[in-house]
Structure formats: C-alpha cells, structure tokens
C-alpha cells in the first residue's frame, strides 16, 4: 500500500472547535421490540444517543445486540415501537425522502443485471443526475475504492470484497451528508481493510460528513471514530460511550501509541461487561 | 493414454464380424453379404475403423469424427440394402447385428464428442450443436431401417423417407397451412395473450387483494383444458383464424399473468430497501428493480406459451375451420388414410414449434444472462 512517511502523532491536539454543530441523529428512550412466533425480541431498549454533524460514531457490540436495527431505524427501514427519534431535526421518514443518507448494507446487494459502473450510477439515475456528471462521479468513486478498470464487469464476476467496495462507492457517489455503514469492511482482508480505513478517514476529514459506523473490530472503531458506542444484547442497550480525540490527519501507525491502546482497552472492558452468556 | 481398450468399439467389432456370418435378408432366396458387394464394402470400412479404435480409444474431436464418419458409411450401406438392395421387408439376423454394431459405435462417438472441451468458443458451440443433430439423424436412420426393413404398413408408420418426399412434394399446401395457422392464429394470438397477461399482471400487482386472490385462480385456469372452448370461440368469432387466435389468447394469458405476478415479488428485501433508501418512486422501482428481477419468470411464461399456442391453434382447427390450416389438414387427411401427409404436417409443426421455442430461449439468454443458471456460460 502507500508508504508515506509518518508524521509524529500528537495526541494532545484537540479536534477543531465545534462551531454551533447541528444534531444529525437524536434519539430519546428509543425502543424496538420484534414480535416473533417465539415471543418478543427486545432488539433496542431505551437508547439515548445524540450524533452531531461531522462526527464519526462507531457502534460496537456482540452479534445480535441491535446495531443493524438501530441503523435501520435511523434509515426509516424499521419503525421503533417506543421513544423518539429525529434525523436532521425531522422524522426519519422525512429525512429519507429528502435523501439525507447513504446506506452501506452488511452485504453488497448489487443488481446482477447491471455492470459495476451502472450499479454505482443507480442512485444518481434515480435522483436525476445528468449522464455526463454521472459518468464523472462514478469514475471518481470507483477509483476511490480501487475498482478503476472494473467498470464493465458484472458483480458476480468480482470477489466478495470487491463487490462490497462497489457498494461503498454506490453509497458515496451521490454525496450524502450522512453515511450509515453496517460492517462495510467485514468481508475484506486486513490490508484492503487498512487501506479503506485510511481512505474513509481522509474522506470524512475532507468532506465533514457525519458517519455512523457499525463494526466488530475494536482497532477499526478506535482508529476511525470520534465517539465509540459500546452496546450489549438482550435487550440491546448502550452501556458505554467513549469519546476519542486523536489528530484528524492520523495514520494507521497511531495504533501502536499508548493513547490508542488505552481507548481500545476501555472498549474491550465495556464489551466484556456487557457480554453475558446466560442464555 | 492413446492405446486404451475401448469396450464400445470392441462390441461394435464383434457384432460386425458376427453379422458377416449371417444372411442379410431371408425369403425364398436368402441374400448373403457377398451378394451385395457395395454394402459389404461399407461394412468392411466400418469394421476396420472400429477394430482400430477398439485398441486405441478415440480421444478428442478428430478421432470421434472419424469414427462417426465410418458409422455414416455403415448407415449408408444399410440404407442401400433396405432400399433397392433387395432386403426391404425381410431383413434378417445379419442385417440387424450390423445395425446394433453401428449403434455401439454411434454411442461411443457421440459420447466422445459430447465430452470434448475446446477453448475456442465458436468450435465449442459447433460441437455442442453437432451432438444433438447427429443423435437426431441417428434416430431417423433407426426409424427408416426399422420401418422399411420390417415392412411396416405405411398407415401405421410411414418411413421418414416417405414423409420427406411428401413434404417436398406438397410445399405449396404446407405453406398455405403454415400461414393460416402459424403466422395468423399462433403469432397474433400469442402476442395479444402474452401482452395483455403481462400488463394485467403489472396492474394486479398494485392491488394487494387481487395479487392474493388472482394467483390461485390464475393457476386453476392455467390447468384447465382451454382448447375445449374452441367451439364457443367459433360461435363468437366465426370460422376463420380469429376464433383460433382467440383460443390462443385465452391459453397464453393465464400462464403469463401468473408468472409475471410471481416474478414481480422476486426482488430481494435488501434490493428493495436500497430503492427505498434512495426515496425512489413506484415506477422507478418497477423499471429499475422489479421488472428486471421478474424477467426470468416472464421468459418462462413466454417459453411455455410458445408451445401452448401452437397446440391450441392446431387443436382448435379440429372444431370447424375454412379448408386451410395445419389442424384442418391433419384431421381431413387422416380420414382419407393419407398418413404421410399427416406426418408431414406434424413434422412441420415440430420444426415451427421448436424454432419458436428456440428463438424465445435465445432471447431469454441475451436478456437474463446475469441469472445464476446462465452465468458460467459467459
Ligand atoms: N425482522 C426481524 N424480526 C425479528 N427479529 C429480528 C428482526 N431483525 C432483527 N431481529 C432480532 O433483533 C436482534 C438484533 O438484531 P440486529 O440485526 O440488529 O443485530 P446486530 O447487532 O446487527 O448483529 P450482527 O453483529 O450479527 O450483525 C437479534 O436478536 C435479531 O434476532
Ligand atoms: Mg448487523
């Protein structure tokens, strides 16, 4: 990958001062109970979370603790059964109709009858972006995720990781203010994952987008986030919120620094506390 | 590798040698192989070839083509024997042992050819095509030597050569029948039936109760013998082709309706949610997601309907028609014991039906190449 000389990391530098930042996601007592044949499943219970514009918030927690469900509620793909939620100051439905977010699903979900290029162009087509601009944006974003040269391939001719990268390009290309990413790098190998982590951090730093990110990887969460939310299952609730303040232009080498390890340790503690094998 | 024993060719060799020991035809003056030197020459070529391959199993396209060429020479001799060679109607053991020998060699040759893998796509397609064609020719050969060799009465089963002669001799009648039945009743009825079935399905899809209620009903009607409505259609639309087209419309409508309604539900949950996340409208979702996902189902209906339409049009003509049409010809010529004409119509119907189906299947491939069942072919 890129072998750029690493600037010394200064943990002391705080993030740029937040000048009157807008609340992008705001929930109060948010709950969601699925009624299933085997009785109710408490996927979310009393979740209070505020995400401000420009934040990078990672959700981490054991499988089945409601991370995907929370993301889906924000995206208006699931209706909460209790509590309040606002996205961009309005209801999730209005936010969705205003095309407020780009969603990267846990699986790529590309359309097999479209080439990679046309898959990435899909949201642009729907939003009525003119063809010339569409081509330009698709090219840019395929390059960004390292898929330049694969424009004319069909999804099923690509590896799983490449498909996932195409789906990230698809979510980015219409330039949404809010990115909802559900384990976007879960299927990728370590090296590509590191590379994309850096790319995503650069993108976030450059564009000031708000990112809500779900992951199972502690280093990934600590590296990327301004805030890490640790969740525990049954019922899915928040057990710790850990703010971080690393340099905005940090590189992967930060992962060996004591400050980084300290935060990672706290995340691990939180996960341990919430993890019960009592069922 | 090249000198492996091949049981099929060995069996063919043994059978061909045994055949030499028996007369070709019975009757008052039995015909022996040396009484028919041309046929014996063909047998000798065949025998030498299979003897060669019995010790060196044929590999690759070249060997198998040589083997099949020798089979063709053998088949030609057998046909010569039954047609004018004096064996027609009273073939005996020697002849049939030879035919079984040819059978064994054909088996080996076609099996070998079917297993050939070429990196050249054009060559591969040629090989893939030649196997069913050669097999079909082999079946026609069996039918020919069977009917002529045993002297089967032609009202029961005319020899392929007779049917062929009849086909070639009545091209004008056949063309008129084809135009009446296929070009008018079948194609027009098919287009209207499939078209309306598809459009109604898209409309039905917007009404949840119809979607639920119509599906079982449509399935039920698809299973009914709709051809039975032909007399009623004649009463409504008269004797000429429109009444036949009407039968075809009814027959093709429901399979298309049912398949399209099912197909419109085929898109996955995540694919739909993606559209939802873009705040895509109903028509955008329909054209960019649900219809493409439904295409395999739509083509399924198009293929089923291509056969149904032909059957429907032909059978509908049995219930009253002007004096032209494939169904009309079949029903009248069978009454006059002109069985070869009936078979000529059947052969034409088979060719037209297969071509129709084939065109649909090819179109399907170009439109649904992305479907898992076709992917590896690209
Ligand atoms: N549609 C549904 N119907 C019923 N139960 C559901 C449904 N969706 C999710 N659940 C349940 O809600 C809980 C939370 O699921 P969710 O998918 O949010 O977990 P997750 O944290 O994303 O897990 P993972 O890390 O494995 O992706 C699980 O117990 C799951 O079984
Ligand atoms: Mg999940």
Could you tell me if A168 and A184 are in contact, meaning their C-beta atoms sit under 8 angstroms apart? Answer: yes
Given a cut of 90, is residue B178 above it in pLDDT?
Answer: yes
Same domain, A166 and A231: no
pLDDT band at B378 (very low <50, low <70, confident <90, very high): very low
Average pLDDT, chain B: 89
Secondary-structure breakdown of chain B: helix, strand, coil percentages, each rounded to the nearest 5: 80, 0, 20
Same domain, A68 and A37: yes
Nearest CA to ligand 1 atom 27: A63
Asked if the structure places residue A13 within a domain, the reply is no
Task: Determine the average pLDDT of the residues in B340-355.
Answer: 92
Express each pLDDT in B12-46 by its tens digit.
999 999 998 888 887 777 788 878 888 889 999 99
Q: What residues in B contact A111, CB-CB < 8 Å?
A: 271, 289, 292
**Interface subset of B 268-307, CB within 8 angstroms of A:** 268, 270-271, 273-280, 284, 288-289, 292, 295
Asked if the structure places residue B158 within a domain, the reply is no
Q: Centre a 10 Å sphere on the Cβ of residue A223 and count the other Cβ atoms it contains.
A: 25
CATH code of the domain containing B331:
1.10.3720.10
Compare all CA atoms of chain A with the CA of B274 and give the residue at the minimum distance. A103
- Say if ligand 1 is within 6 A of residue A35 CB: no
Question: What pLDDT sits at residue A169?
Answer: 92
Same domain, A120 and A83: no
- Say if ligand 1 is within 6 A of residue A111 CB: no
Among all chains, which residue has been given the structure tokens 């009858």? A113
Asked if the structure places residue A9 within a domain, the reply is no
Same domain, B174 and B129: no
Backbone angles phi, psi at B32, to 5 degrees: -100, 165
Nearest by CB to A126, which of B270, B284, B370?
Answer: B284
Same domain, A164 and A185: no
Same domain, A243 and A198: yes
Same domain, B108 and B229: no
Please choose, from the candidates B361, B319, B141, the residue with its C-alpha nearest in 3D space to the C-alpha of residue B229: B319
What is the helix (H) or strand (E) element at residue B283, kind and residue range?
helix B282-285
Express each pLDDT in B274-302 by its tens digit.
999 999 999 999 999 999 999 999 999 99
Asked if the structure places residue B161 within a domain, the reply is no
> HSE (CB half, 13 Å, CA atoms) of A166?
32
Asked if the structure places residue B276 within a domain, the reply is yes
Q: What residues in B contact A99, CB-CB < 8 Å?
A: 278-279
Given a cut of 50, is residue A5 above it in pLDDT?
Answer: no
Given a cut of 80, is residue B153 above it in pLDDT?
Answer: yes
Given a cut of 80, is residue B124 above it in pLDDT?
Answer: yes
Same domain, A193 and A76: yes
Asked if the structure places residue A152 within a domain, the reply is yes
Ranking A133-147, B226-240, B352-366 by mean pLDDT, the lowest is B226-240
Question: What pLDDT sits at residue B134?
Answer: 94
Given a cut of 80, is residue B116 above it in pLDDT?
Answer: yes
Name the DSSP class of B91: B
Q: How far is the CA of B192 from the centre of ligand 1 (A)?
A: 47
Same domain, B272 and B183: yes
pTM (two decimals): 0.81
Same domain, B360 and B214: yes
Could you tell me if A53 and A21 are in contact, meaning their C-beta atoms sit under 8 angstroms apart? Answer: yes
- Say if ligand 1 is within 6 A of residue A68 CB: yes
Of A152, A175, A198, which one is at a domain's C-terminal end? Answer: A175
Express each pLDDT in A174-195 by its tens digit.
989 899 999 988 878 888 888 8
Residues whose CB is under 5 A from ligand 2 (ion)? Answer: A 68
Asked if the structure places residue B215 within a domain, the reply is yes
Q: What residues in B contact A156, CB-CB < 8 Å?
A: 370, 372, 375
**Positive or negative: CA dihedral A263, A265, A268, A272:** negative
pLDDT band at A75 (very low <50, low <70, confident <90, very high): very high
| Shortest distance, CA B293 to any CA of chain A (angstroms) | 8
Same domain, B288 and B181: yes
Express each pLDDT in A200-230 by its tens digit.
898 888 888 899 999 988 989 999 999 999 9
Express each pLDDT in B204-250 by its tens digit.
888 888 877 777 887 787 777 777 788 888 889 888 889 999 999 99
Retrieve residue A250's tokens: 């940090």
Asked if the structure places residue A247 within a domain, the reply is yes
- Say if ligand 1 is within 6 A of residue A137 CB: no
Same domain, A33 and A54: yes
Asked if the structure places residue A89 within a domain, the reply is yes
Q: How far is the CA of A155 from the centre of ligand 2 (A)?
A: 22
Of A122, A141, A175, which one is at a domain's C-terminal end? Answer: A175
Q: Centre a 10 Å sphere on the Cβ of residue B128 and count the other Cβ atoms it contains.
A: 13
Q: What residues in A contact B273, CB-CB < 8 Å?
A: 77, 103, 105
Q: How far is the CA of A134 from the centre of ligand 1 (A)?
A: 35
Of B92, B120, B152, which one is at a domain's C-terminal end? Answer: B152
Q: Which residues of A touch B (CB under 8 A)?
A: 75-77, 96-99, 101-103, 105, 107, 109, 111-113, 122-123, 125-127, 154, 156, 174
Domain housing B55: 7-152
A123–B270 C-beta distance less than 8 A: no
Same domain, A94 and A165: no
Mutate to test the interface with B, among A79, A156, A173 (most CBs of B within 10 A): A156
Q: How far apart are CA B156 and CA B151, in angstroms?
A: 11
Question: What pLDDT sits at residue A253?
Answer: 82
Given a cut of 80, is residue A1 above it in pLDDT?
Answer: no
Ligand 1 atom closest to residue A236's alpha carbon, by position in its atom list: 14
Of B152, B186, B217, which one is at a domain's C-terminal end? Answer: B152
Q: How far apart are CA A214 and CA A233, in angstroms?
A: 15
Same domain, B132 and B197: no
Of B152, B184, B203, which one is at a domain's C-terminal end? Answer: B152
Q: How far apart are CA A169 and CA A179, in angstroms?
A: 12
Average pLDDT, chain A: 85
Ligand positioned closest to the Cα atom of A35: 1
pLDDT band at B343 (very low <50, low <70, confident <90, very high): very high
Same domain, B77 and B144: yes
Nearest by CB to A75, which of B277, B292, B372?
Answer: B277
Question: ipTM of the predicted structure?
Answer: 0.84
Same domain, A184 and A71: yes
Asked if the structure places residue A266 within a domain, the reply is yes
Same domain, B135 and B182: no
pLDDT band at A20 (very low <50, low <70, confident <90, very high): low
Task: Determine the average pLDDT of the residues in B126-149.
Answer: 92
Question: What pLDDT sits at residue A58?
Answer: 93
The residue that leads in pLDDT, A214 or B116, is: A214
Same domain, A29 and A63: yes
Same domain, B63 and B173: no
Same domain, A269 and A189: yes
Q: Centre a 10 Å sphere on the Cβ of residue B252 and count the other Cβ atoms it contains.
A: 30
Q: How far is the CA of A126 from the centre of ligand 2 (A)?
A: 27
CATH code of the domain containing A229:
3.40.50.300
- Say if ligand 1 is within 6 A of residue A40 CB: no
Question: What pLDDT sits at residue B117?
Answer: 86
B276–A126 C-beta distance less than 8 A: no
Of A128, A150, A175, which one is at a domain's C-terminal end? Answer: A175
Number of domains observed in the structure of chain B: 2
Same domain, B23 and B61: yes
Nearest by CB to A126, which of B268, B280, B372?
Answer: B280
- Say if ligand 1 is within 6 A of residue A66 CB: yes
Given a cut of 80, is residue B183 above it in pLDDT?
Answer: yes
Please choose, from the candidates A169, A178, A230, the residue with its C-alpha nearest in 3D space to the C-alpha of residue A204: A178
Q: What residues in B contact A154, CB-CB < 8 Å?
A: 370
Compare all CA atoms of chain A with the CA of B280 and give the residue at the minimum distance. A126
Task: Determine the average pLDDT of the residues in B188-201.
Answer: 95
Asked if the structure places residue B185 within a domain, the reply is yes
Question: What pLDDT sits at residue A153?
Answer: 92
B288–A123 C-beta distance less than 8 A: no
Number of domains observed in the structure of chain A: 2
Express each pLDDT in B58-109 by its tens digit.
888 889 999 999 999 999 999 988 887 677 778 888 899 999 999 999 999 9
Same domain, A198 and A270: yes
Asked if the structure places residue A5 within a domain, the reply is no
Same domain, B141 and B257: no
Q: How far is the CA of A215 from the centre of ligand 2 (A)?
A: 9
The residue that leads in pLDDT, A275 or A144, is: A144
Asked if the structure places residue B106 within a domain, the reply is yes
Could you tell me if B214 and B161 are in contact, meaning their C-beta atoms sit under 8 angstroms apart? Answer: no
Domain housing A76: 21-100+176-274
Same domain, B286 and B357: yes
pLDDT band at A275 (very low <50, low <70, confident <90, very high): low
Given a cut of 80, is residue A14 above it in pLDDT?
Answer: no
Mutate to test the interface with B, among A72, A78, A112, A115 (most CBs of B within 10 A): A112
% pLDDT > 70, chain A? 91
Three-state DSSP class for A181?
strand
């Amino acid at each position: 990958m890129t072998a750029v000389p690493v600037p010394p990391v200064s943990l002391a530098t705080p993030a740029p001062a937040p000048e009157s930042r807008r609340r992008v996601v705001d929930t109060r007592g948010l709950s969601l109970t699925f009624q299933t044949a085997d009785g109710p499943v408490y996927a979310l219970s009393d979740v209070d979370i505020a995400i401000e514009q420009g934040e990078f918030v990672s959700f981490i927690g054991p499988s089945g603790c409601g991370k995907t469900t929370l993301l889906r509620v924000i995206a208006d793909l699931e209706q909460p059964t209790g509590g309040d939620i606002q996205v961009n100051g309005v209801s999730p439905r209005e936010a969705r109709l205003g095309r407020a977010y780009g969603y990267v699903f846990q699986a790529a979900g590309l359309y097999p009858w479209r080439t990679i290029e046309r898959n990435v162009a899909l949201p642009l087509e729907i939003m009525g972006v003119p063809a010339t601009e569409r081509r330009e944006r698709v090219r840019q974003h395929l390059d960004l995720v390292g898929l330049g040269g694969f424009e004319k391939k069909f999804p099923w001719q690509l590896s799983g990781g490449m498909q996932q990268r195409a789906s990230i390009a698809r979510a980015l290309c219409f330039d949404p203010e809010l990115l909802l990413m559900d384990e976007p790098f879960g299927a990728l190998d370590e090296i590509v994952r590191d590379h994309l982590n850096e790319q995503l951090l650069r993108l976030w730093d450059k564009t000031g987008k708000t990112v809500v990110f779900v992951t199972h990887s502690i280093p990934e969460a600590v590296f990327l986030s301004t805030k890490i939310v640790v969740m525990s299952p049954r019922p899915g609730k928040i057990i710790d919120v850990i703010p971080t303040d690393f340099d905005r232009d940090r590189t992967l080498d930060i992962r060996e620094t004591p400050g980084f390890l300290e935060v990672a340790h706290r995340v691990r503690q939180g996960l341990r506390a919430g993890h019960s094998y009592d069922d | 590798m090249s000198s492996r024993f091949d049981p099929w060719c060995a069996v063919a060799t043994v059978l061909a040698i045994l055949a030499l020991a028996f007369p070709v035809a019975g009757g008052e003056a039995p015909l022996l192989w040396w009484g028919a030197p041309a046929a014996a020459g063909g047998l000798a070529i065949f025998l030498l070839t299979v003897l060669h391959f019995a010790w060196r199993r044929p590999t690759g396209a070249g060997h198998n083509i040589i083997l099949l060429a020798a089979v063709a020479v053998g088949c030609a001799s057998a046909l010569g024997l039954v047609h004018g060679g004096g064996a027609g109607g009273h073939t005996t053991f020697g002849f049939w042992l030879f035919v079984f020998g040819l059978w064994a060699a054909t088996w080996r040759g076609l099996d070998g050819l079917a297993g050939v893998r070429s990196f050249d796509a054009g060559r591969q397609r040629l090989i893939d095509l030649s196997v069913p064609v050669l097999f079909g020719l082999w079946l026609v050969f069996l039918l020919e030597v069977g009917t002529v060799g045993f002297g089967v009465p032609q009202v029961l089963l005319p020899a392929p050569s007779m049917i062929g002669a009849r086909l070639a001799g009545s091209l004008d009648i056949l063309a008129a029948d084809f135009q009446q039945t296929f070009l008018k009743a079948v194609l027009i009825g098919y287009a209207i039936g499939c078209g309306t079935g598809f459009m109604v399905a898209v409309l039905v899809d917007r009404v949840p109760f119809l979607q639920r209620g119509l599906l079982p009903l449509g399935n039920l009607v698809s299973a009914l013998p709709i051809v039975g409505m032909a007399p009623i259609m004649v009463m409504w639309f008269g004797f000429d082709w429109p009444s036949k087209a009407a039968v075809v419309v009814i027959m093709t409508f429901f399979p298309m309706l049912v398949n399209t309604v099912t197909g419109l539900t085929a898109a996955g949950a995540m694919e739909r949610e993606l559209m939802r996340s873009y705040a895509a409208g109903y028509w955008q979702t329909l054209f960019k997601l649900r219809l493409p996902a439904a295409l395999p189902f739509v083509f399924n209906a198009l293929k089923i309907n291509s056969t149904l339409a032909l059957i429907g049009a032909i059978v509908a003509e049995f219930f009253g028609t002007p004096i032209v049409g494939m169904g009309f010809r079949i029903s009248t010529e069978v009454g006059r014991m002109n069985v070869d004409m009936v078979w000529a119509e059947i052969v034409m119907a088979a060719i037209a039906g297969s071509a129709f189906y084939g065109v649909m299947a090819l179109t399907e491939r170009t439109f649904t190449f992305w479907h898992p069942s076709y992917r590896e072919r690209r």
